[in-house]
């Protein structure tokens, strides 16, 4: 079948071929069945004719010498008989009978070919045992009869086949109309249109297709909307730092003294740093999807954590924050090492930003009942329960946070966790007994990522 | 001229505060909706610069609460939200003007001047009383074709009195317009500024109402200086 073969043509061809095959099969069966029945009936006739001759011969044939019997019916030309006196003297025979014996056998049915003519023969002796009687019929009669019956069966097919083809074509066309209509509807749609297709009078077989299509449209619409919202949000988020840079620059230009000017310029530079951090984070978030398709390999989580900590530690030290990697064994996670590094960097970076100077950020990697637990804890102000739910929303910055964050860090972490089938948990820091470690710790935040091992 | 700035972004807020100060405004800066709402409930401001995306209470909510108290203070919304719907929502909630980030500092101060002018019932960008011309945009005062050099605070006192011409302003009211929160108010500062203004211009310009405050008489038919109750009061 051609890849883009027509469903209509296929249906037509298959249906017509089936009809023809079934018809031919029926005709063949009828031919052989009729042939068999004719054989029986005609054989019975032969035997009957023979028995008549047997009765006849015992009375009259004594006087007859090689006599020709007249032909009485058009079919009688095809029926022949011979009466052989004493088995070897031809005493009586029909006009069309050959001169030599019609059969070698002397009793029962046999087939023979004489002068190129095929005969079906019934042979018997008469009651006196003096005369051997052969009654024969040309075999082609039987063939002709069976063929004529089979032919009569085939003839209507030949006539009706074109008619059938036309009717089928109309029927198939009409049946396929909903499909054609659907295809037309899809083809006529605006490229951007995601309106659902009407399943109103579609046939049952097509309804699942339409439903699936509509579900797909809904999903595409949702993801498009998410994308649009994200772009709009991103644009808004970029506006504020740009506004700050511009305003600071204008303040610097109008500044009366050096001190004021330098303060404004420093702030403008800070604003640029913040804007570029935001842009970096946006790009990272956009890349998570494409990177997520990358190679999955066994990643040593502790080693990656150590690597990330080593990179962040100097900047953290400057802020008076220590980062500690808690004791434990190496844990291996199936995933993308690039993404895991981004996840760890964001978590630790967040913690360092929010923990007060003089405290430390603790990173833990541990195995736990078939799962691998990565946790990052800080001693920062923590986040009230109500705000925690919204924490991983894009651009969400809880009150009181320094504006240095992009509001994207936990969104990125959540996305990466999702692509690794891991769960993200944000909680107030408590020790195992449920007690808060120390009074100063009660606001600290712990972010836990649970990987399947 | 005292302005309330409500903006949660540290860097932007710092810049606006500095920029407004350069234009001679005293600026109070609130970083969340609740403290802004409290400040608006207690202090008189000539104008408000309001960001919409605020923690604890949204900017629109602050605005609605302000208007529900029948406070006519002009409010300029300064936000990153730029759709027509956003603007309509903001203006319908009671804002007088709408500016989208990023903005030009010059435009922000010009719009604030216009808002303050209109709130005072005047339309002319230049205030003229008894031959004294005060142009808030240029921060200039001209008297008898001479440009008069005034310190920022002196200018602010003169501006407040001319805007409220015909009305007595108490010392406290003038101080409120001069100083933002946390700024130390020097004792007798207002008296000193009035004294300077009388010396640099002419003594009769500002009258002292003993025990009450100070006054610049409104001129008839100037169209300026007369305090007309704002139509939004009604």
- Structure confidence by residue, pLDDT tens digits, B17-47: 999 998 888 899 999 999 999 999 888 899 9
pLDDT of B211 reads 85
Please tell me which of the candidates B15, B101, B106 has its beta carbon nearest to residue A264: B15
Residue contact A267–B9, C-beta within 8 A? no
Q: Which residues on B lie below 8 Å from A250 (Cβ)?
A: 15, 19, 104-106
B12 at A interface, C-beta within 8 A: yes
pLDDT of B227 reads 45
This prediction has a pTM of: 0.58
Please name the residues in contact with B147: beta carbons below 8 A apart, sequence gap of 6 or more.
B140, B141
Whether the predicted pLDDT of B139 surpasses 90: no
Q: Mean pLDDT across the stretch B103-107?
A: 93
Q: Which residues on B lie below 8 Å from A398 (Cβ)?
A: 55
pLDDT of A62 reads 53
Tallying the residues shown for chain A, one arrives at 453
Residue contact B103–A247, C-beta within 8 A? yes
Contact in structure between A70 and A79 (CB atoms under 8 Å): no
Please tell me which of the candidates A250, A397, A399 has its beta carbon nearest to residue B105: A250
CA distance A448 to chain B (A): 26
Residue contact B101–A240, C-beta within 8 A? yes
Please tell me which of the candidates B10, B32, B80 has its beta carbon nearest to residue A399: B32
Whether the predicted pLDDT of B143 surpasses 80: yes
Please tell me which of the candidates B15, B32, B104 has its beta carbon nearest to residue A244: B15
pLDDT of A107 reads 84
| Residue segments in chain A with a per-residue pLDDT below the cut of 50 | 1-2, 402-403, 431-441
**Three-state SS letters, A389-415:** CCCCCCCCCCCCCCCCCCCCHHHHHHH
Residue contact A254–B32, C-beta within 8 A? no
Retrieve residue B197's tokens: 């203004």
Residue contact A254–B81, C-beta within 8 A? no
Please tell me which of the candidates B11, B15, B102 has its beta carbon nearest to residue A403: B11
CA distance B7 to chain A (A): 10
Quick one: closest CA in B to A242, which residue?
Answer: B102
pLDDT of A268 reads 93
Q: Which residues on B lie below 8 Å from A239 (Cβ)?
A: 80, 100-102
Quick one: closest CA in B to A235, which residue?
Answer: B80
The dihedral over CA atoms of A391, A393, A395, A398, expressed in degrees to the nearest 10, equals -20
Interface of B with A in 176-195 (CB under 8 A): none
Tokens 């317009």 correspond to B177
Between residues B23 and B76, the one the model is more confident about: B76
Please tell me which of the candidates B12, B55, B106 has its beta carbon nearest to residue A244: B12
B137 at A interface, C-beta within 8 A: no
Whether the predicted pLDDT of B225 surpasses 50: no
B85 at A interface, C-beta within 8 A: no
Residue contact B19–A256, C-beta within 8 A? no
Please tell me which of the candidates A242, A399, A400 has its beta carbon nearest to residue B102: A242
Residue contact A240–B80, C-beta within 8 A? yes
**Exposure letters A243-271 (e unless 16+ CB within 10 A, then b):** bbbbbbbbbbebbeeeebeebbbebbebb
Residues A131 and B234: their CA atoms lie apart, in Å, by 146
B18 at A interface, C-beta within 8 A: yes
DSSP A70-111: PP-SGGGGTEEEEEEETTTEEEEEETT--SS-S-S-SSEEEE
CA distance B199 to chain A (A): 26
SS3 state of residue A365: strand
Query: What phi, psi does A119 have (nearest 5°)?
Result: -125, 150
Please tell me which of the candidates B22, B56, B102 has its beta carbon nearest to residue A246: B102
SS3 state of residue B97: strand
Whether the predicted pLDDT of B221 surpasses 70: no
Strand order in the sheet with A371-377: A322-325, A360-368, A371-377, A445-452, A423-428
> Helix (H) and strand (E) counts for chain B?
8, 11
Quick one: which of A61, A58, A128 has its CA closest to A90?
A61
CA distance A263 to chain B (A): 10
Q: Which residues on B lie below 8 Å from A243 (Cβ)?
A: 12, 80, 101-103
Residue contact A243–B80, C-beta within 8 A? yes
Kind of pairing, strands B2-6 and B47-50? parallel
pLDDT of B61 reads 92
Quick one: closest CA in B to A247, which residue?
Answer: B15
Residue contact B12–A247, C-beta within 8 A? yes
**Can you say whether the dihedral through the CA atoms of A207, A213, A214, A215 is positive or negative?**
positive
Contact in structure between B5 and B30 (CB atoms under 8 Å): yes
For chain B, the distance separating the N- and C-terminal CA atoms, rounded to the nearest angstrom, is 24
Please tell me what DSSP assigns to residue B198: H
């Amino acid at each position: 079948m051609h890849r883009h073969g027509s469903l209509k043509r296929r249906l037509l061809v298959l249906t017509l071929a089936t009809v023809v095959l079934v018809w031919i099969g029926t005709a063949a069966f009828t031919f052989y069945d009729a042939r068999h029945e004719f054989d029986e009936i005609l054989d019975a006739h032969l035997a009957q004719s023979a028995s008549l001759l047997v009765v006849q011969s015992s009375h009259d044939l004594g006087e007859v010498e090689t006599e020709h019997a007249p032909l009485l019916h058009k079919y009688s030309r095809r029926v022949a008989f011979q009466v052989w006196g004493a088995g070897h003297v031809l005493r009586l025979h029909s006009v069309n009978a050959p001169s030599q014996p019609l059969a070698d056998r002397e009793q029962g049915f046999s087939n023979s070919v004489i002068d190129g003519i095929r005969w079906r023969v019934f042979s018997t002796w008469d009651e006196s045992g003096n005369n051997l009687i052969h009654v024969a019929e040309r075999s082609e009669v039987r063939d002709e009869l069976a063929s004529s019956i089979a032919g009569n069966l085939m003839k209507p097919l030949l006539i009706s086949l074109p008619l059938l083809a036309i009717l089928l074509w109309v029927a198939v066309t009409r049946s396929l109309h909903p499909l054609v209509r659907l295809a037309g509807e899809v083809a006529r749609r605006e490229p951007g249109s995601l309106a659902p297709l009407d399943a109103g009078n579609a046939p049952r077989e097509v309804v699942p297709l339409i439903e699936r299509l509509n579900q797909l449209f809904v999903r595409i619409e949702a993801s498009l909307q998410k994308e649009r919202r994200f772009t709009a949000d991103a644009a808004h988020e970029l506006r504020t730092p740009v506004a700050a840079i511009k305003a600071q620059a204008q303040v610097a230009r109008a500044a009366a003294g050096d001190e004021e000017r330098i303060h404004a310029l420093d702030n403008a530079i800070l604003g640029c740093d913040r804007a570029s951090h935001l842009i970096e984070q946006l790009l990272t978030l956009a890349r998570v999807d494409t990177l997520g398709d990358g190679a999955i390999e066994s990643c040593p989580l502790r080693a990656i954590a150590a690597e990330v900590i080593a990179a962040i530690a100097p900047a953290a030290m400057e802020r008076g924050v220590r980062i500690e990697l808690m004791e434990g064994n190496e844990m291996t996670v199936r995933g993308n090492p690039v993404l895991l590094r981004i996840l760890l960097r964001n978590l630790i970076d967040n913690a360092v930003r929010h923990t007060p100077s003089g405290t430390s950020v603790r990173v833990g990697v541990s195995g736990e009942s078939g799962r691998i637990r990565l946790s990052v804890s800080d001693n920062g102000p923590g986040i009230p329960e109500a705000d925690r739910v919204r924490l991983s929303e894009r651009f969400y910055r809880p009150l009181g946070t320094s504006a240095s964050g992009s509001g994207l860090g936990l969104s990125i972490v959540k996305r990466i966790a999702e692509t690794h089938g891991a769960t993200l948990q944000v909680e107030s820091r408590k020790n195992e007994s449920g007690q808060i470690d120390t009074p100063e710790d009660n606001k600290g935040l712990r972010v836990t990522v649970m990987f399947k091992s | 001229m005292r302005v309330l700035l409500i903006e949660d972004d540290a860097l932007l807020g710092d810049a606006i505060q500095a920029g407004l100060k350069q234009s001679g405004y005293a600026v109070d800066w609130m970083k969340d909706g609740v403290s802004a709402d409290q400040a608006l409930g207690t202090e008189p401001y000539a104008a408000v610069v309001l960001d919409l995306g605020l923690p604890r209470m949204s900017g629109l909510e602050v605005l609605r609460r302000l208007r529900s108290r029948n406070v006519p203070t002009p409010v300029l919304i300064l936000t990153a939200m730029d759709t027509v719907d956003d603007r309509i929502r903001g203006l319908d909630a009671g804002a007088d003007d709408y500016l989208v980030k990023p903005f030009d500092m010059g435009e922000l101060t010009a719009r604030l001047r216009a808002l303050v002018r209109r709130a005072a019932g005047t339309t002319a960008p230049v205030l003229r009383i008894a031959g004294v011309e005060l142009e808030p945009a240029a921060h200039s005062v001209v008297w008898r074709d001479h440009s008069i050099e005034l310190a920022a605070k002196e200018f602010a006192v003169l501006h407040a009195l001319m805007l409220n011409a015909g009305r007595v302003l108490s010392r406290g009211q003038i101080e409120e317009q001069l100083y933002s929160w946390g700024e130390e108010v020097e004792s007798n500062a207002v008296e000193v500024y009035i004294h300077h203004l009388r010396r640099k211009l002419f003594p009769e310009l500002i009258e002292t109402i003993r025990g009450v405050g100070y006054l610049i008489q409104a001129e008839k038919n100037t169209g300026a200086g007369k305090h007309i109750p704002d139509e939004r009061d009604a």
